[in-house]
Chain A
Amino acid sequence: MSSSIESLVNKEYAYGFVTDVESDTIPRGLTEETIRLISAKKNEPEWLLDWRLKAYRRWLTMTEPHWPNVTYAPIDYQAQTYYSAPRSVKPLQSLDEVDPELLKTYAKLGISLTEQKRLTGVAVDAIFDSVSVGTTMKTELAAVGVVFCSFGEAVHSHPELIKKYLGSVVPYSDNFFAALNSAVFSDGSFVYIPKGVKCPLELSTYFRINAADTGQFERTLIVADEGASVSYLEGCTAPKRATNQLHAAVVEIIALDDASVKYSTVQNWYAGDKDGVGGIYNFVTKRGKAQTNAKISWTQVETGSAITWKYPSVILQGDNSVGEFYSVAVVNNRQQADTGTKMIHIGRNTRSTIISKGISAGQGQNSYRGQVKVLPKAEGARNYTQCDSMLIGNACGAHTFPYIEVANNTATLEHEASTSKIGEDQIFYCKSRGLNAEHAISLIVAGFCKEVFKELPMEFALEAQQLLGISLEGSVG
Chain B
Amino acid sequence: MLKISDLHANASGKEILKGISLTVNAGEVHAIMGPNGSGKSTLAQVIAGHPGYEVTGGTIEYDGKDLLDMEAEERAQAGVFLAFQYPVEIPGVTNAYFLRAAFNELRKARGEEEVDPMEFLDIMEEKLKLVEMDATMMQRSVNAGFSGGEKKRNEILQMAVLAPKLAVLDETDSGLDIDALRIVAGGVNALKRPDNATIVVTHYQRLLDYIVPDSVHVLAGGRIIKSGGKELALELEAKGYDWLLEPAGV
Chain A positions near chain B (C-beta within 8 angstroms): 2-4, 423-426, 428-437, 439, 443-444, 446-451
B46-60 CB mask vs A (1 if < 8 Å, else 0) is 001111100000000
B105 and A429 form a contact (CB under 8 A): no
Q: A2-B51, A434-B77, A447-B141 are in contact. List 14 more A-B contacts (CB 8 A).
A: A3-B51, A426-B89, A426-B90, A429-B87, A429-B90, A430-B73, A432-B76, A433-B76, A433-B98, A433-B102, A436-B71, A439-B101, A443-B98, A444-B93
Report the number of A-B residue pairs with Cβ-Cβ less than 8 Å.
Answer: 84
**B158 within 8 Å of A (CB atoms):** yes
* Complex Cα gap A437–B73 (Å): 8
Which residues on the B side are within 8 Å of A443 (C-beta)?
A: 90, 93, 98, 101
Judge whether A428 and B50 touch: CB under 8 Å. Answer: yes
Q: Does A4 contact B88, Cβ atoms closer than 8 Å?
A: no
B90 near A431 with CB under 8 A, answer: no
In the assembled complex, 5 residue pairs joining A and B whose CB atoms fall closer than 8 Å, in A order, are: A425-B88, A426-B90, A436-B71, A447-B91, A451-B92
| Structural contact, A426 and B105, CB atoms closer than 8 A | no
Main secondary structure of the interface of A (DSSP, over half): helix
Closest chain A residue to B99 by CB distance? A433
CB distance from A427 to the nearest CB of B (A): 9
Nearest CB of A to B243, in Å: 36
Cross-chain contact A435 with B101 (CB below 8 angstroms):
yes
Is B82's CB within 8 Å of the partner chain A? yes
CB distance from B233 to the nearest CB of A (A): 27
Instruction: Report how far A338 CA is from B196 CA in the complex, Å.
Output: 54
- Tell me, in angstroms, the Cα distance from A451 to B141 when the chains sit together: 13
Chain A nearest CB from B69 CB (Å) reads 15
Instruction: Provide the bound-state CA to CA distance between A433 and B161, in Å.
Output: 11
Query: Is B109 in contact with chain A by the CB < 8 A criterion?
Result: yes
Q: Is the CB of B101 within 8 A of A4?
A: no
Q: Which residue of A lies closest to B108 (CB)?
A: A434
Residues from chain A with a CB closer than 8 A to the CB of B102 are: 430, 433-435
- For the complex, give the distance between the alpha carbons of A20 and B71 in Å: 45
Q: Are B88 and A434 in contact (CB under 8 A)?
A: no
Contact across chains for A433 and B158 when beta carbons are under 8 A apart: yes
Determine whether the beta carbon of A429 is less than 8 Å from that of B91.
no
A448-B51 contact in complex given A434-B162, A443-B101, C-beta closer than 8 Å:
no
- Asked whether any CB of chain A lies closer than 8 Å to the CB of B72, the reply is yes
How many Å from the CB of B91 to the closest CB on chain A?
Answer: 6
B92 engages A446 (CB within 8 Å): yes
Q: How far is the CA of A41 from the CA of B236 in the complex (A)?
A: 91
Contact A444 B90 (CB under 8 A): yes
CB neighbours (8 Å) of B84 from chain A are: 429, 432
Chain B residue at minimum C-beta to C-beta distance from A357: B92
B91 in complex: contacting residue of A434, A437, A448, CB < 8 Å: A448
Contact B92 A447 (CB under 8 A): yes
Bound CA span A437–B76, Å:
13
Q: Which residues of A contact B77 (CB under 8 A)?
A: 434
* B115 smallest CB distance to A (angstroms): 14
Q: Is B106 an interface residue (CB 8 A)?
A: yes
